[in-house]
Chains A and B, each alone.
Chain A
Amino acid sequence: MSIRALIVDDSSVMRKIVERCLRQAGMNLSQVLEASNGTEALALVNEHTLDLILSDINMPVMDGLEFIRHLKKVESAKNVPIVMITTEGGEKSVLEALSLGANGYIRKPFTPDQVKDHVIPVLRNQS
């Protein structure tokens, strides 16, 4: 199965690392889109069909939690699984993200195996 993924992080280095981890996890990525904040991500969400979104929380312009709030109002994208990848790993942040509709949560720093272990089940549940 080929995956069309959107990676949202204000760090271009982190976006590349996340993409590498997905490929190392054996995912067949047919398309990888990148955005540096929630506003850019929403524009891409409206233009493309996606299978997976991975998003940071702490970003300028529009943070990851606000991005989820907007994403869930986009009819064509509200069911796309979204996994948060962030340094904000406290219980409060995790619960807020999950209550807004996030499907998974990975804390930075992370290993490729951690990305695999969190993302694969989310995709499996979706299909």
Chain B
Amino acid sequence: MSTYQQSLAGNNSALLQGWRAILRDSVTEVFSMMVGVEICVPQPPNPPVVREVTGLVGLAGELCGVLSVQCAKSCASKIASRMLCVPVAEAASHMNDAIGEICNMVAGSFKAKIDGMEDKCMLSVPTVVIGGDYQIFSLAVGERIELPFLFEGESVWIGLEVRN
């Protein structure tokens, strides 16, 4: 069992709080640099979870789990539009690709910001699910961090489920 897994098994809330802040930084960094937009952390109450497009990237090694990005199709199309600098209608066919890549970069940025994690945690290639009628079952009991954001008025939820 890795050091991080031991800490999680011990219900280390400080560790999770730290990761929550790191994940928030990673999301804002990726949107700022690659989408060209400052994504907002909403004031309570949290916006609804709209999961029409879900990006998933697996983490394996010292840290095992799944990082997810969930949003509406309209939001995913707008993200693709911003990334490609083309009109939304033209970018719609690229929304899956855009969400997968956002998910990939957030996961990469997250692990890079944790001391000693970068070389000990590998990322899968992204998977994108269209539609909301699904459930994700993890193979082990774990901790979950969920962060809401607002992108041009639409909700984007980032989730990190890690096994302990």
Q: Chain A interface (Cβ within 8 Å of chain B)?
A: 10-14, 16-17, 20, 58-60, 86-93, 107-111
Q: Chain B interface (Cβ within 8 Å of chain A)?
A: 29-30, 33-34, 80, 83-85, 94, 97-98, 100-101, 104-105, 107-109, 112, 118-119, 122-123, 125
Provide the main secondary structure of the chain B interface.
Answer: helix
Q: Cα distance A71–B70 when bound, in Å?
A: 38
Q: Establish whether residues A109 and B94, one from each chain, have CB atoms under 8 Å apart when the complex forms.
A: no
Nearest chain B CB to A91's CB is how many angstroms away?
Answer: 6
Contacts known (A12-B94, A13-B80, A109-B29); A20 close to B85, Cβ less than 8 A? yes
Nearest chain B CB to A6's CB is how many angstroms away?
Answer: 19
Instruction: Determine the chain A residues whose CB is within 8 A of the CB of B105 once the complex forms.
Output: 87, 108-109
Contacts known (A13-B83, A109-B33, A109-B34); A88 close to B94, Cβ less than 8 A? no
Q: Cα distance A93–B105 when bound, in Å?
A: 16
Nearest chain B CB to A99's CB is how many angstroms away?
Answer: 15
Q: Cα distance A107–B83 when bound, in Å?
A: 17
The chain B residue sitting closest to A91, CB to CB, is B119
The chain B residue sitting closest to A110, CB to CB, is B33
Instruction: Determine the chain A residues whose CB is within 8 A of the CB of B94 once the complex forms.
Output: 12-13
Q: Cα distance A68–B130 when bound, in Å?
A: 34
Q: Establish whether residues B118 and A12, one from each chain, have CB atoms under 8 Å apart when the complex forms.
A: no
Q: Cα distance A12–B101 when bound, in Å?
A: 10
Q: Establish whether residues A13 and B108, one from each chain, have CB atoms under 8 Å apart when the complex forms.
A: no
Instruction: Determine the chain A residues whose CB is within 8 A of the CB of B30 once the complex forms.
Output: 109
Show 23 A/B contacts (Cβ-Cβ < 8 Å), sorted by A: A11-B97, A12-B94, A13-B80, A13-B84, A13-B94, A13-B97, A13-B101, A14-B101, A16-B84, A17-B83, A20-B85, A58-B104, A58-B123, A58-B125, A59-B125, A87-B105, A87-B107, A88-B122, A91-B118, A91-B119, A108-B104, A109-B30, A110-B34
Instruction: Determine the chain A residues whose CB is within 8 A of the CB of B80 once the complex forms.
Output: 13
Q: Cα distance A91–B117 when bound, in Å?
A: 11
Instruction: Determine the chain B residues whose CB is within 8 A of the CB of A86 once the complex forms.
Output: 108
Instruction: Determine the chain B residues whose CB is within 8 A of the CB of A14 once the complex forms.
Output: 101
Instruction: Determine the chain A residues whose CB is within 8 A of the CB of B33 once the complex forms.
Output: 109-111
Instruction: Determine the chain A residues whose CB is within 8 A of the CB of B85 once the complex forms.
Output: 20
Nearest chain A CB to B118's CB is how many angstroms away?
Answer: 3
Q: Cα distance A38–B104 when bound, in Å?
A: 19
Contacts known (A92-B119, A109-B34, A110-B33); A11 close to B101, Cβ less than 8 A? yes
Instruction: Determine the chain B residues whose CB is within 8 A of the CB of A58 once the complex forms.
Output: 104, 123, 125
Known interface pairs A87-B109, A87-B123, A90-B119; 9 further A-B residue pairs with C-beta atoms within 8 A, sorted by A's residue number = A11-B100, A11-B101, A13-B80, A13-B83, A17-B83, A60-B125, A88-B108, A89-B108, A108-B108
